[in-house]
Chain A
Amino acid sequence: MGEVIVITSGKGGVGKTTTAANLGTGLSLLNKKAVLVDTDIGLRNLDVVMGLENRIVYDLVDAVEGTCRLKQALIKDKRYDGLYLLPAAQTRDKNSVTPEQMVKLCEELKEEFDFVIIDCPAGIEQGFKNAIAGADRAIVITTPEVSAVRDADRIIGLLEANDIKNPSLIVNRVRHEMVRKGDMMSIEDIIDILAIQLVGVVPDDENIIISTNRGEPAVSDNKSMAGQAYRNITRRILGEDVPFMDLAGQGNFIAKVKKLFGFRSA
């Protein structure tokens, strides 16, 4: 029996889809069987981020409505063993699926997979309700910006109101140099405000844009900082105790020298 993890944030554009793609891929790289479910009906993107857009025949709505069997709608990622994608429908809307149908879908997928990763749409309406309906746990994504943290707080409240206890947090697009200068909230600041458990910190990394351009998740790129962060998160999801990356090491020369002498301002 697998586990259903919903990736959510409230605010759009903070990296839900990228995170879902990287965690799913990361899990398959660690020999877990994982399926990525795009619940952003009408605005699907997980397919392009994964580079699987040309392989779609059936989608989530087809599977739920019985137009096809669930297995027919699952796209096997040939690059990563045990990784599948269930794409969202593009020409329908969020009301095409009900939370009850999502619960049933998740139950079926749990039979087959170790992990069901649900990519949640932005917002708190029907799409969000569908996405969290069958979830066992939630990962909330935020960036170190007031708008994203505020929305994350709202989402945490809604998750708890829907009996999804103890969501964990990923802080995305952290720019260490700005944090050091006091121009970006630090991880500690954000944890202080949101008061939930941290599962990962992903540095702002140009490689993410490059890997998204190519449709290849950064987690499989050994040179990418963000990829390393996602590999760490994947292992933490599996219960390993992985120390958090020292982003300071990636700063400029002065930051490195300061670190050498034990000065750490952030």
Chain B
Amino acid sequence: MLQQLLSKLGRKRSSKDVAKERLKLVLIHDRANVSPQFLEMVKGEIIKVIRNYMEIDEEALDIQLTKTASEEGDGVVPALIANIPIKSVKNAGRSF
């Protein structure tokens, strides 16, 4: 009870909550079975598609599997975060 009250007030989190959150994150990776090779493949495909529309800095492209708060705000969901620096947008991609 007290523990729940404290955590609601945003004070020190109980160690079991820390454990649960860490577990959830590690299991996202375990279950997805994401190897560096897998991420490289995804990266390659994304570059291929985007290249049709814009010029990007392929060297600086960063893609990773991470967690984010779910829409409902009651938990953590896996998310694929890609940071793709754009150099220029190709003509074909511009609106007329």
* B83 at interface by CB-CB < 8 Å: no
Other-chain contact of A193, B4, B7, B23 (Cβ < 8 Å): B23
* A256 at interface by CB-CB < 8 Å: no
* B71 at interface by CB-CB < 8 Å: no
With both beta carbons as reference points, the residue of chain A lying nearest to B75 in the complex is identified as A192
- CB contacts under 8 Å to B, within A118-162, are 145-146, 149-150, 153-154, 157
Say whether, besides A182-B16, A183-B15, A193-B27, A146 and B22 are in contact (CB < 8 Å).
Answer: yes
- B1-15 near A? 1/0 per residue, CB < 8 Å: 111100100000011
Other-chain contact of A182, B3, B23, B27 (Cβ < 8 Å): B3
Other-chain contact of B16, A153, A154, A157, A183 (Cβ < 8 Å): A183
* A181 at interface by CB-CB < 8 Å: yes
Residues of A within 8 A of B30 (CB): 150, 153-154
* B20 at interface by CB-CB < 8 Å: yes
Residue with the greatest number of chain B CB neighbours at <10 A, chosen from A150, A182, A192: A182
With both beta carbons as reference points, the residue of chain B lying nearest to A183 in the complex is identified as B15
Q: How many residues of A contact B (CB 8 A)?
A: 19
Report Cα–Cα, A192/B22, bound state, in Å: 14
Least Cβ–Cβ distance between B22 and chain A, in angstroms: 6
Q: How many residues of B contact A (CB 8 A)?
A: 18
Report Cα–Cα, A186/B2, bound state, in Å: 16
Least Cβ–Cβ distance between B29 and chain A, in angstroms: 10
Other-chain contact of A265, B3, B17, B19, B23 (Cβ < 8 Å): B3
Report Cα–Cα, A149/B23, bound state, in Å: 8
Report Cα–Cα, A5/B32, bound state, in Å: 28
- B24-53 near A? 1/0 per residue, CB < 8 Å: 101100110000000000000000000000
- CB contacts under 8 Å to B, within A158-184, are 179, 181-184
Contact between A186 and B27 (Cβ–Cβ < 8 Å)? no
Q: Give the interface SS of chain B, mostly helix, strand, loop or mixed.
A: helix
* A263 at interface by CB-CB < 8 Å: yes
Report Cα–Cα, A153/B17, bound state, in Å: 18
Contact between B17 and A182 (Cβ–Cβ < 8 Å)? yes
* A185 at interface by CB-CB < 8 Å: yes
Residues of A within 8 A of B19 (CB): 145-146, 185
* A111 at interface by CB-CB < 8 Å: no
Residues of B within 8 A of A100 (CB): none
- CB contacts under 8 Å to B, within A13-29, are none
With both beta carbons as reference points, the residue of chain B lying nearest to A189 in the complex is identified as B20
Contact between B3 and A146 (Cβ–Cβ < 8 Å)? no
Least Cβ–Cβ distance between B80 and chain A, in angstroms: 21
Contact between A189 and B31 (Cβ–Cβ < 8 Å)? no
Say whether, besides A150-B30, A157-B31, A265-B3, A193 and B24 are in contact (CB < 8 Å).
Answer: yes
Other-chain contact of B26, A145, A150, A185 (Cβ < 8 Å): A150
Least Cβ–Cβ distance between B49 and chain A, in angstroms: 31
Residues of B within 8 A of A183 (CB): 14-16
With both beta carbons as reference points, the residue of chain A lying nearest to B26 in the complex is identified as A150
Between-chain CB contacts (< 8 Å), 17 pairs: A145-B19, A146-B22, A146-B23, A146-B26, A150-B23, A153-B31, A181-B3, A181-B14, A183-B15, A183-B16, A185-B20, A186-B16, A193-B20, A193-B23, A265-B2, A265-B3, A265-B4
Q: Which 10 interchain pairs have the tightest Cβ spacing?
A: A182-B14, A182-B3, A265-B1, A185-B16, A183-B15, A146-B23, A146-B19, A189-B20, A182-B16, A153-B27
